[in-house]
Amino acid sequence: MDDKRKNENEGEGSKSADKNYREAASDFARRNDTVKAGLDAEREVEQRKGDFEKAEQEGRSHSKGDLEEDIQGSDFKKI
């Protein structure tokens, strides 16, 4: 790929970014037990539920939206 083409903005439909992501995700899936990783993550979330909820509230408190449900978290169903 020449320098001109390499620096060209592809916009939202970036084919090279999509290709790089898919290659990296496939490589990760080949090298790791993704089912075990998912179960481990689920277990960690359950064990540290308070920490995650606190972090979520902190993030929502910085929302630029005016909707009360953004802060309360009532706009989505928690698992």
Q: How many residues does the chain have?
A: 79
For the chain, domain boundaries: 36-61
Between 19 and 8, where is the model more confident? 19
Of 35, 78, 59, nearest to 70 by C-alpha is: 59
Q: Where are the beta strands (DSSP E) in the chain?
A: none
Provide the greatest CA pair distance for the chain: 51
Query: pLDDT tens-digit profile of 19-75?
Result: 999 999 999 999 999 999 999 999 999 999 999 999 988 888 876 666 666 666 666
Give the global pTM: 0.47
62 DSSP assignment: T
